Structure formats: structure tokens, C-alpha cells
Amino acid sequence: MDKRDQNIKKVYTETASAIFKLHSKNMLSEAEMGFLLNFLDLVIKRKNADLINIIRQWNNKNTTSEIDEIIKATLLNLDLSDSSSLVHCKELIEELLASCSEPGHNLQ
Amino acid sequence: MMTGEERMEQEFLFDLESERRVLSAMLHSEEACIEGFNLLAGTDFYSPENATIFELTCSLFEREIIPTYVELIKEAHTLGMLTSTRDIESLQYIVEQYIEDENIKYWIKKVKDKSRLRKFESFLRTSYQSLSAEQELDVEQALLSAEEKLTNLTALEIDDRIDNPADLASLGYEEVERRFLRYKEIMELHKGVLPLDGLPTGFDSLNNITLGFKPGDLVILGAQTGHGKTAYALHTAKAIAVEDNKGLLYLNTEMSREQIALRWGSILSEIEHDRIRSGSINETELSIIFGGYSKLRESGFYSYPCPNLTPEKTVSLARKFKTQKNISMMIIDYIGRMDKFDPRLQEWQILEQIIKTQKTLAQNLKIVVLCLVQLNPDGSLQGAKRMKNECDLMLKLRPIPKEDLEENEQLRNYQNPNYYIEIEKNRDGQSGIKIPITFDMRKQIMKDAARVS
């Protein structure tokens, strides 16, 4: 295992442990922990680049708390093994993010 | 409070580092997972935490889920295990170690040895306690009982079993009764036709002689280059995995995935292989071929094309597929193309080793292993005597010689026979028999030669 792989592994285990610990301290719900662990696996296995990109866009965008809640609820209900559900989720988040950029959108 | 001496004694009984290394390797590599799953049990681990991690890993592996750190956390969480932060920290510590899977056997042995040592220690302790407790000790009886326990500890592996006279008599009674009832059923229900004892062979005549391939059987089929080894393998696979819907693992050392898929198209549609390869088929034939693939889709056929197949790899794959897909048979197409144990060995020594490994594998996993081997141009087989000793059924697939076709009276009773399946050895029945079959090389189809009405 080369240095880079070792680092990736370290980040992976540390992140997974941190997610679990946050859940143990009641700072993450059961569903939030489940999603974040699954999402971590996706990132490490470099699967579903589309979903990762859209979440990255969301993270970089200045969105309202209402839109954040809708996106979060959408992600928590997402079945990562279902490709049609993934496509639908991605489209929905894209629309929500696009609506934030439209004129008249209230920035918080 | 434990004294220093007691603590020293305790430390001899476990090796937490080896336990962690085994678990770490299992979480990094599938090969290590297969080894660990097959050679260890949760009770071999001294630390209850490690035993839990091992059980969780095995449970994921059995369900074909790669046991990553995240999957382990999720599984443990679902089952209400490893709930504290400390548990997760020890799991993280294990995951962060990286163990080359080539070393896994060494670490497994260390864990296993400590487990046996603990059993020995427990034997010594309980024996001493019973000695101290008994006032009127029957020395002879005590020694005999101790000897039996010690023998179980030293000589017997998990799978070994010694039958006492009563066990053997019961087994004999059950077997004879089963056969008696089956014979009655044959006479009354099947009108004298013997039902199979094992998996179908794909040929009625071979079924009648062998009563099918039985679990634990090692079957060897020899044929010359270009004389139907793969066609025979896929014909057998069709009978077992497609028509009988049993799990079957097919290991091919020569052909690509595409080649294997195209062969199936021909076998299942009965359309010439060359035409399918070149695509010169009409729309009706295309739909027949698609119909064939639908059957394959629903079958129990698992294919693993592997040009660098080694005997160790076959063991590992068979264990994996037995656990995850409950296969009844493994076919190796073919032995001569397998990578060698040791390049310094003679060809016959290598073949002998491979065949011995496959026989042990068939018995341990209670599956049928069919090995295809290449015949020399004169029809002989290198290392044949040794192979014959090891196998339960040895078959040769050969074209019927021209003079036989012209002079053999028996063959006149069949329509278009062109190949023989020769039974060289049959542990449970008749051998020295030649079964005439019809092999359509263009369609890759084999069948019993039809009798002239």
C-alpha cells in the first residue's frame, strides 16, 4: 500500500469513526449517520461522481435554510443502490440550486 | 488480584496481535476473508470484541457484502453490537493496520494454535480439579477419559469423525433402508428406471451407470486438443445449472468471457457456433438465441475466466462460491493450463498434486469437482495411474475409430454415433464401458446416440 492509499485509508477510518461518535453523542440522527456512512463509502470507492459533484455544489452555494432542509430530507430518503432514484434526486437538487441563483432569490 | 506468575501463564494463552492482524487482513482482502471464514470460528478468538468483529465480518461476507469499515459499523449498529466509542476505537485500530494477504495463513495458524492451547489448558485445569475433588478415584477410568479428551485435542481436526460400532451400525441401517425404499419406488413409481443419487451427467446412459455425480466426487474427463473438452464441460453445466438449476462454478483457463458467452448461445439455441460468431443469422434465429440466454440468466451458472489459475486459487474460489452461492459442482477447464505449484517438479508430480488438492476440496465442501485434462495424441494420459487412484470417475472422450464404425455390430444399433465416452474408472459401479454419443461440433451439442428403432 503506497503513501497516498495509506492517507486515503486514514481519512476514511477517521471520518467513519467521527460520524459514529457524533451519533453516539446524539449530534446525528440514525438516518443522518446511515446516509453519511453510505456517502463516505461512495466517495472512497469513487462511485456516483454525479451525486458527489452535486453535493459539492450545494456545499459551496449560499442557500436558504428552507432549501437546505428540502435537500437534506431528499438525501436522507435516497436509496443509493437505486439508479433511477439517484437520477431523480440529482435532478431535484439541481433544480433547487438553480432556483437559488434566480433573480428574486432571498439570500439569508 | 492476579499474581505476576498467574499473569504470565495467562499471557501464554492468547495473542491479541495475531487476532488483530487476521481481522485486519480479512477487512482488506477477499482472499484473506475466504481463508479466515473457512479456517477459523468465533470461539478461536480470545478477545470477545475480536470474536464479535470476526462474526460480523463473516456475516457480511456470507451475504456477499464487502466487509469495509463502514459496513462493519452499520452491521454492528443494526445488531446493537460494538456500541461504545471504545469499541469503535479498537475496530478503527484494527482497520488501520495493513496486512499483506500472503501472510494470512501464518496469522491464522497463530490464532488457531492459541485457541488449541487454551483448550489444552482448560483440560489440564479441569482434570486437576476433578482429581482434587474425587476421594475414591477410579484411576483406570480417569486415565481413559483423560486420554480420550487429549486425543480429541491433538489428533482430530474439526471435520474428523471416528465412528463407534453403534454409529456405523446405525449408518448401515439407514443406508440399507433408504436403498430398499428407493428400490421399491423405482419398481412402483418409475417403472424400473433408476432415479439419480447425485447430479445429472447430461447423458441418460452415463446417468444409468453412475446414478449421477455425487457430492465429494472427483471426476476427470480427458480429451485431445480440439475434441470437445469445453463442449463437454458446458454440456454438463447445461444439465446441472440450466436444466436442474443447481449452482455451478466454471473456471476456464483459456477462453475469454465473450467466447464463453458465445458458446452458450450456440449450445442453448442449437444454432451453428460459427454462424453466431460471424453474426450471419436471421431474425428468427436471433430470437431463438435470445430465448437461450434467458434460460442462462435464470440458471445457477457462474463463470470465472482465469488465465493464471493456480490450485490455491481454485480452493479459495470454491470455498467462496460454496458459501455465497451454495454451488454443487465446480468445473476446471482445464488442468494442464494451471500455473504450477513449483516449477522444479516433473509434469506428472504437478498433476498429481493438483488432482489430490481437488479431491480433498470436493470431499471437504461436499461438491462435485470435474477436472478436464488433455490426452496425448495416442489417447494416453500423462500421470494417468496416479490420477486414476485419486478420482472417483475417470472418463475419456474420443472419436469412434473408423474401423469400429465399420465393424462393430453394436454400433449399428445407434444413429450417427461419432464419439465414445469411455468409463476408465467408476468407484461405485461398472467401468470399461464405452458409451456411444453424437457430438455435433458445429453446434457444440452432445447427446446420447439415439437407438435405431
ipTM of the complex, rounded to two decimals: 0.75
Optimal mutation site among B69, B90, B101, interface A, most CBs of chain A within 10 A? B69
Residue B425: all three cell numbers together: 474408472
Residues B403 and B305: their CA atoms lie apart, in Å, by: 39
3-class secondary-structure state, position B201: coil
Residue B295 has pLDDT above 70, yes or no: yes
The closest CB to that of B85, out of A16, A21, A34, belongs to A21
Residues B336 and B347: their CA atoms lie apart, in Å, by: 9
The model's pLDDT over B172-216, given as tens digits with 9 standing for 90+, comes to 888 788 878 877 777 776 666 667 788 999 999 999 888 899 999
The model's pLDDT over B217-236, given as tens digits with 9 standing for 90+, comes to 999 999 988 889 999 999 99
Closest-CA residue of B relative to A2 is B98
* pLDDT of res. A108: 41
Closest-CA residue of A relative to B90 is A17
A16 interfacial to chain B (CB closer than 8 Å) = yes
| Secondary element (H or E) of residue B305 | strand B301-305
A10 interfacial to chain B (CB closer than 8 Å) = yes
Size of interface A-B (CB pairs under 8 A): 38
A40 interfacial to chain B (CB closer than 8 Å) = yes
pLDDT band at B169 (very low <50, low <70, confident <90, very high): confident
> Three-class SS string for chain A?
CCHHHHHHHHHHHHHHHHHHHHHHCCCCCHHHHHHHHHHHHHHHCCCCHHHHHHHHHHHHCCCCHHHHHHHHHHHHCCCCCCHHHHHHHHHHHHHHHHHHHCCCCCCC
- pTM confidence score: 0.70
A68 interfacial to chain B (CB closer than 8 Å) = no
The model's pLDDT over A41-53, given as tens digits with 9 standing for 90+, comes to 888 887 888 888 8
Inter-chain contact B68–A33, Cβ cutoff 8 Å? no
* pLDDT of res. A105: 54
On chain A, the residues whose CB falls within 8 A of the CB of B98 are 1, 6, 9
What average pLDDT is seen over chain B? 86
Give chain B's largest Cα–Cα span: 92
On chain A, the residues whose CB falls within 8 A of the CB of B89 are 17
pLDDT band at A87 (very low <50, low <70, confident <90, very high): confident
Inter-chain contact A12–B69, Cβ cutoff 8 Å? yes
The closest CB to that of B69, out of A1, A13, A24, belongs to A13
A15 interfacial to chain B (CB closer than 8 Å) = no
A6 interfacial to chain B (CB closer than 8 Å) = yes
Chain B residues whose C-beta is within 8 A of a chain A C-beta are 68-71, 73-74, 77, 83-85, 88-89, 92, 95-96, 98
Query: Beta B433-440 vs B419-426: how paired, if at all?
Result: antiparallel
The model's pLDDT over B267-283, given as tens digits with 9 standing for 90+, comes to 999 999 989 988 889 99
The closest CB to that of B70, out of A1, A21, A37, belongs to A37
* Amino acid symbol at B150: L
Residues B78 and B331: their CA atoms lie apart, in Å, by: 39
pLDDT band at A102 (very low <50, low <70, confident <90, very high): low
